[in-house]
Chains A and B, each alone.
Chain A
Amino acid sequence: MKLITHNMLTSKCLKGVMTGYPLAINATDIKVTEVDFNPEFITRVIPKLDWEVLWAAANSIGHGEGLPKTLEPKYEENEDLLKKLHRVLLEVEVEEGNLTCPESGRQFPISKGIPNMLLTEAEVQ
């Protein structure tokens, strides 16, 4: 699971959970894969991000270095920032671990890089 995915994901599927966001990450295995750098794409994605959530998530898994706590205007001209973001959003991946719902504490496993957001029969009753 990439952090761009984490930034968009909720546990709203759970009964009684209102926002289910952000999910806490507990990673036991992280890998970094190289992905082609596309500054236009990163620039387009920035307005869709919750910056604080990204910053906290990156730091919680030890990849927050160099990421500013707040986003300055004119980010599209800041190549260093776009590169850093590219790495954090698309190259760092949680292979194994889990995601925790901030409201209910329910955990969702991540295995082989794929989060499992399914509920049990009892939970959807």
Chain B
Amino acid sequence: MWRRYLMWFAHEHLDFRHAEMQSIISLFNIPVKFIEQPSIRKPYWIVELPSEDYVKKIASRSVLVKNCIELWSTAKTESQLHANLKNSLKNSTGTWVTGENGQGDASDTHLCPKELIEACCSPKNSFKIEVETFCKHYTLKEKVQKIESFEYLPLEGPVKLNKPDITLAYLEFYGDDPNNVPEQPYDLFFGKWIVDGQRDLIQYHSLKKRHFIGNTSMDAQLSLLMANQAQVKTGDIVLDPFVGSGSLLVSAAHFGAYVWGSDIDFMMLHGRTRPSRVGQKMRAKEESVRGNMRQYKTESSYLDVLVSDFSLPLWKQGFKFDAIITDPPYGVREPTEKIGIERDNYKLSEQHLVNHIPAKVEYGLQQLYGDLLNFAATHLEVGRRLVCWYPLVREEYQEDQLPSHPCLSLVANSEQVLSKLTARRLLTYEKVRDDGTGQTLETNGGSHNFREKYFAMGEMTRRERKERKSEEMAAYALYKMAAKRDVT
């Protein structure tokens, strides 16, 4: 029997939700039936899956899924939810009985097979009921009242708040507009908690506790998302060619990959740049990409890091990676550079050579992304992925201007807004075929010129900047409110 699940998401990185889920679903080859068309304005999906194993697989990877509930009943009003649950107890058809497949008009019926409830009722099963409300806050007392309204459920086991055998979940959705919260919820759900997603990993991998960070270290949540976009799995070989402090390798290694990194910055890879943490005077001895992996006990999948300029070839012909995950320099917080010098007849004396740190010339973004896509087209296994960030001035964005390559297909494209005017997009490309022709195919490095535009915008007056800042803070406060959720 296929089972019906409610997947409850964190209200964060909304534009990444679909992409992350699709990546995980296709990674594990999971057949999913959508019972309701997913909408970004709702923090949940309702799906059917062939068995509980599948929902556990999804939850084992997703950082955006908060938890997965075996859905017993749903309704648009409280009284209907209770009516549905009571009728579910009598539903011996062995399948879901719902309004949508009965008569043509969608009535508010949703009854699970009674076996699902009965399986939880034995006196041997301790249980508790949790209440979660989206976009509305309730006091503990109010929540207890809500819990008591489920008294009629024939649960015979003892109530146990800490690690019960069974956790039941009651969820109320009050829409996604914190300025316009209705009196009564729009949707109500009841079911059995099955599994949590990987939200805890975000804390575990938090940059606040990371040994070695740089000015542009990627935060834990986005790093994990990137590893999911890349469909990293145990035993994969992964490369980050702009590795910096190695955040992306840390998350790839968490999912079992063996990792290589390279970066042009000798001082960075040797942990000798100025410390990035406020208040820290000197870098500690173990500060390195490897040190980070040691911290998370994945040092066994550290291969190496190399000091190298990505604009020049490094790897042997025919060698292929399972994934390339990277955050190239955007030229704002750190320069986009490659080795070179613009003067003619430049020559270095012999003794100078040994510890010489070469001068760098600008590495244009278009050229950089062109090189990156070309590199992926030659050095990725077919069917595997390149995942990279791409910075943009928002109003200039046109999808057909993104970097492209005939061997790579853009399978996901999610926006993270950085300010009112700027954003970066996480681009996921899948290698669809090998460049068998032996000749370099034409690559398009994209034609948004972020750096120039970014600095042109830097021309704005102080007043404008101040205004924008307060606008952003207001937006952030709203967003925080919307994300507020309470679990008793």
Spell out A's residues near B (CB within 8 Å). 1-2, 4-5, 7-10, 12-13, 19, 21, 35-36, 38, 40-41, 44-45, 48, 50, 90, 109, 111-122, 124-125
Contacts and interface: CB of A to CB of B under 8 A. Distances in A.
B313 A13 contact: yes
B306 A38 contact: no
Given A10-B313, A13-B313, A4 B303 contact: yes
Nearest to A48: B319
A12 B317 CA distance: 10
B258 A48 contact: no
A99 B354 CA distance: 14
A88 B296 CA distance: 24
B358 A44 contact: no
B309 A8 contact: no
Contacts of A38: 235, 300
B370 to A, nearest CB: 18
B388 to A, nearest CB: 21
B339 interface: yes
B351 to A, nearest CB: 13
Nearest to A115: B306
Given A122-B347, A124-B339, A21 B307 contact: no
Contacts of B359: 121
Contacts of B300: 35-36, 38, 90
Given A5-B306, A44-B235, A114-B304, A120 B313 contact: no
Nearest to A45: B237
B375 interface: no
B270 interface: yes
B340 A112 contact: no
A109 B258 CA distance: 24
B304 A118 contact: no
B260 A13 contact: no
Interface in B290-311: 299-300, 303-309
A121 B341 contact: yes
A121 B307 CA distance: 15
A120 B351 CA distance: 13
Contacts of A121: 339-341, 346, 348, 358-359
Interface centre among A35, A111, A115 (most CB of B within 10 A): A115
Contact of B316 (A9, A45, A113, A117): A9
B313 A117 contact: no
B280 to A, nearest CB: 21
B264 interface: yes
Given A19-B317, A48-B237, A115-B304, 7 more contacts: A5-B304, A19-B316, A115-B306, A116-B306, A117-B309, A121-B340, A122-B346
A88 B347 CA distance: 40
A10 B315 contact: yes
A16 B99 CA distance: 73
A34 to B, nearest CB: 9
B356 interface: yes
B269 interface: yes
A21 B315 CA distance: 10
A22 B53 CA distance: 47
B316 A124 contact: no
A8 B308 contact: no
A118 B314 contact: no
A124 B313 CA distance: 12
B266 interface: yes
Contacts of A13: 308-309, 312-314
Contacts of A9: 306, 314-316
A2 B304 contact: yes
Nearest to B265: A118
A109 B19 CA distance: 42
Contacts of B460: none
